[in-house]
Amino acid sequence: MSIILVQVIVGGLLLGAIYALFSSGLTLVWGMMNIVNFAHGDFVMLGMYVAFVVYTLLGAGPLLGAPLAVLVLATLGVIVYFGLIRDIMKGPMLAQILGTFGLALLLRYSVFWWFGANFLSLPENIVGGTFEIAGLRIQASRLLAGGVALLVTFGLHLLLTRTSLGSKMLAVAEDSTAAQLMGIRPDTMQAIAWAIAAGATGLAGALIATFFYIVPTVGETLGIVAFVTVSLGGFGSVPGALMAGLLIGVIESLSAYWIGAVYKDMVVYSLFLGFLWFRPQGLMGKT
């Protein structure tokens, strides 16, 4: 195997881990509340802007920017839950779609108004540049994002399967009336779920900002990948999102390299549709 091919695959794996990172928040909300958050991409965008503001004001990198983005987005998640989601969940499906879509536009154009339409960028060496191992070029910023993706996936999975908070959240997801009879407050659990999901998304944004451009519409570009990753991984399955992310990343990179970048989406989406035909619940979703 040529070194360039190895580089393509390694690049694809890192890309996939990053896809998984910014999909985990979506799968949590989608799986637990059956709500499709169309503002998800714009949550990523907000995380990126938090990292940018932290850098311009304090000169600090993601070490400070990422935790701050988690904090800001988690707070926003709770506000969004109580201010919007709780009420539209009672409405028809269409209200939910339009509600989160409206939120997406509100966030996008608020940032547009405040920061302007210009493309922004963090310095290339903010997380230690690029290093070379055995002829392979690895960007420290992508490696960091990929590593965090594994940690977040692992952490969320443990939270949902091994803690009482996780069990309570899952109970609410399963049957909120029954959960209420058991003394669990659905409102609190769902607000916590939104805080975690939005926080994880903010973290993703802050880390992606270290190697991607920052612009108010960036959520549009990234959002669609998150939806595909979540559907392929299985709604609500955090490990599924990781596997799906890695799979999509590698298939994208290889098809772009072998067949051409114009066709990579065609390859990814036809494989995606073909797979869902056999297994509509996704890689790790429950039937």
Partner 1 sequence: MKFKHILGLLCAASMSVILAGNASAQDKTVKIGGIFPLSGNAASTGVHTKAALEVAMDIINNAHPELGNFPLAKNAGLAGLGGAKVEVVFADNQGSPATGQNQALRLITEEKVVAITGAYQSGITLTASAIAEKYGIPFLNGESVAANLTERGFKWFFRTTPIASDFAKIYFDFLRDMKAAGAKTDTVAMVHDNTEYGTSVATVITNVFKANGQSAPIDIAYAANATDVQSQVLQLKEKKPDVVIMISYTSDAILFAKTMQALDYKPAMLIADDAGYSDPSFIKAVGKISQGAFNRSSWSVGPAGSPTALIAEMYKKKSGDEMDDTAARQMQGFFVLCDAIDRAGSTDPAKIQAALKATDLKPDQLMMGYKGVRFDDKGQNILAAGVMIQLQDGENYVTVWPKANAEKAPVLPYKGW
Question: Which one of 124, 161, 162, 270 is in contact with partner 1 (CB under 8 A)?
Answer: 124
Task: Decide if residue 180 touches partner 1 (CB under 8 A).
Answer: no
Question: Angle between the 218-233 and 40-58 helix axes, to the nearest 10 degrees?
Answer: 130
Task: Decide if residue 117 touches partner 1 (CB under 8 A).
Answer: yes
Task: Decide if residue 15 touches partner 1 (CB under 8 A).
Answer: yes
Task: Decide if residue 252 touches partner 1 (CB under 8 A).
Answer: yes
Which residues contact residue 254 at a Cβ distance below 8 angstroms, ignoring those fewer than 6 apart? 8, 9, 12
Which of 144/189 has CB closer to partner 1?
144
Task: Decide if residue 181 touches partner 1 (CB under 8 A).
Answer: no
> In whole angstroms, how far apart are CA 69 and each of 101, 107, 286?
22, 15, 32
Task: Decide if residue 113 touches partner 1 (CB under 8 A).
Answer: no
Site string for partner 1, 207-246 (x = CB under 8 A): ----xxx-xxx--xxx--x---------------------
Minimum CB separation of residue 162 from partner 1 in Å reads: 33
The residues that bridge with 133 in the sheet, in sequence order, are 136
Instruction: Give the tokens for residue 91.
Output: 């409405």
Question: Which one of 1, 57, 92, 118 is in contact with partner 1 (CB under 8 A)?
Answer: 118
* Rounded Cα–Cα distance for residues 203 and 244 (Å): 19
Only one of the segments 54-62, 75-83, 110-118, 197-205 lies at the binding site for partner 1 (rule: CB under 8 A); that segment is 110-118
* Rounded Cα–Cα distance for residues 52 and 215 (Å): 11
| DSSP 8-class letter at 214 | B
Question: Which one of 36, 72, 172, 256 is in contact with partner 1 (CB under 8 A)?
Answer: 256
Which of 8/85 has CB closer to partner 1?
8
| DSSP 8-class letter at 83 | I
Question: Which one of 63, 109, 178, 182 is in contact with partner 1 (CB under 8 A)?
Answer: 109
Task: Decide if residue 147 touches partner 1 (CB under 8 A).
Answer: no
Spatial CA neighbour of 197 closest among 286, 64, 73? 73
Q: Which amino acid is at 49?
A: Y
Only one of the segments 137-145, 187-195, 199-207, 237-245 lies at the binding site for partner 1 (rule: CB under 8 A); that segment is 137-145
How many Cα atoms within 13 Å fall on the side-chain side of residue 286?
6
Q: Chain centroid to CA 276: how far?
A: 21
Give the binding-site size for partner 1 (rule: CB under 8 A).
Answer: 40
Spatial CA neighbour of 241 closest among 160, 142, 144, 141? 160
Phi/psi of residue 238, nearest 5 degrees: -70, -45
- Report 28-67 residues binding partner 1 (CB under 8 A): none
**Which residues in this chain contact partner 1 in the complex, by CB under 8 A?**
4, 7-8, 11-12, 15, 109, 112, 116-121, 124, 130, 132, 137, 139, 142, 211-213, 215-217, 220-222, 225, 252-254, 256-257, 260-262, 264-265
